[in-house]
Chain A
Amino acid sequence: MDDLVERFLAGERRALARVISRVENGTTEGRDYVRALFPHSGKAHIVGITGGAGSGKSTLTGALASEYRRREKTVGIVAVDPSSPFTRGAILGDRIRMQDVALDPGVYMRSMAGRGALGGLAPSIADVVAVMDAFGFDYVLIETIGAGQDEVEIAGTAMTTILVNNPGTGDDIQALKAGIIEIADVLVVNKADHPGADVLVSQLQALLALSPAGQRRPPIVKTTATKGEGLEKLVDAIADHYRFLEESGGLEAHRKSVARHQMLDITRQIVLERIQRATSEDEIARLVAQVAAREMDPHSAAELLAAHALP
């Protein structure tokens, strides 16, 4: 390894940017950086921001960072946008909504492509978050792609998950019923200057009233992120949740659950890599043809492949 770790620990932002690229690329070198920096992580409050496409996640994330800066806290942001599963290319446009903090030396913002879509491998988001944490930010904000399974994935990495809702989109209530509300620690009604905001707040309250007794009910915060309104209340609600985690022992449980998730994830990746190293493309093609022709079932084919790595 080069002097990158040293420069990183001295607080050089370019070193942070370089380390993230290497970690993100999942190379052996990248893993060495995680090894070196992981002991320095574990201090930041990690906050996930999730919600439907167009719900204002990016704008809210930028406004949240501004509010933390007013309170003299430092902020690292990871914003994830989708990759094309075909070309692996991506357009990462979240910076557009975060211009107010673009030149703030207390904010570092990184756009990340989903990448995981190809080959089903989980992206290295947990590693990137650990690296940002190790850099010493008070808060690390993770903004999700905005649809599908990664929401639950984010809830696994973030200590506090914010779910962003909008008035006038009746579908949200349907989405909430489907279970996504379970991962929310704070509910935000963003674009609160649009008609219907109060109706949505009552609907959410009614929905939460159905939660089992004794279970923590997430607070509902109205925001208009484009105007910076409601952000003070949101920051307070996030702090309240952190205190709740500390007092209920949830923080310790969270750290263990992240550790477990990440460890098993990496184990899967190691095994997969071993199989790939021990297997030729021809052999895979042969098995694929047999499964496609129904001469073999996919379970038996997978076991044959796995036998390469696990004799």
Chain B
Amino acid sequence: MSTATAQIRVLIAKPGLDGHDRGAKVVARALRDGGCEVIYTGIRQTPEMIAEAALQEDVDVVGLSILSGAHLELFPRVVDELKKRGVDDVLLFCGGIIPEEDTKALEGLGFKAIFRPGTNTQDIVKFVYENVKK
């Protein structure tokens, strides 16, 4: 019985202009049921807003969801904005419609996992618990 509780805090964010957030919500829900505190910021977030939310909320994990195809455009900017604010120790993952050929580029940016359609949500929860720096 411990009274001190350190919980994993996750930011789920959707950069850019696509308005389809079903996937982001499903992932947020799965992580919630997995015992995480999930901050969901809604659709149409700029890279600055996502980085600022990550800083203010002191999250351990940032998950980006994107279906618009602009990931190679927007994700590097999110990573830049995080770095600019000194947020350099969060676990990054992403999901959505992301072609296989972009995997290398995203890994190079620091994304530790890419979850595509058909992913079992439990795999995402497992990934977060196994990779988070706590």
A residues adjacent to B (C-beta < 8 A): 13-14, 17-18, 20-21, 25-27, 30, 83-84, 87-93, 95-96, 99, 102-103, 108-111, 113, 115, 118-119, 121, 269, 272-273, 276, 281, 284
Contact = CB atoms under 8 A, between A and B. Distances in A.
A111 B28 CA distance: 15
Given A14-B85, A14-B87, A92 B6 contact: no
Contact of A21 (B33, B48, B58): B58
Given A87-B33, A109-B56, 20 more contacts: A14-B86, A17-B55, A84-B33, A87-B34, A89-B33, A89-B35, A89-B37, A92-B40, A93-B42, A96-B40, A96-B42, A102-B52, A102-B53, A103-B49, A108-B56, A110-B57, A111-B37, A113-B7, A269-B3, A272-B3
Report the 7 A-B pairs with minimum CB-CB distance, sorted nearest first. A89-B32, A17-B58, A96-B42, A25-B6, A26-B4, A21-B58, A87-B35
A172 to B, nearest CB: 27
Nearest to A284: B1
Given A90-B32, A91-B32, A110 B5 contact: no
14 contacts: A14-B58, A25-B5, A25-B6, A87-B32, A87-B34, A89-B31, A89-B38, A90-B37, A91-B40, A95-B40, A103-B52, A111-B37, A113-B7, A113-B37
Interface of B: 1-7, 9, 28-29, 31-42, 48-49, 52-53, 55-58, 85-87
B12 to A, nearest CB: 9
A90 B4 CA distance: 17
A103 B33 contact: no
Given A95-B42, A113-B7, A269-B3, A88 B35 contact: yes
B59 to A, nearest CB: 9
A276 B37 contact: no
A247 to B, nearest CB: 36
Given A17-B58, A84-B32, A89-B32, A26 B3 contact: yes
Contacts of A102: 49, 52-53
A250 to B, nearest CB: 32
Contacts of B31: 89
A13 B5 CA distance: 23
A3 to B, nearest CB: 13
Nearest to B25: A91
Nearest to A13: B55
B55 A88 contact: no
Contacts of A84: 32-33
Contacts of B56: 13, 17, 108-110
B87 to A, nearest CB: 7
Contacts of A113: 7, 37
A119 B3 contact: yes
Contact of A91 (B28, B58, B86): B28
A122 to B, nearest CB: 11
A26 B4 CA distance: 5
A262 B6 CA distance: 21
Nearest to B29: A91
Nearest to A30: B4
Interface centre among A27, A91, A119 (most CB of B within 10 A): A91
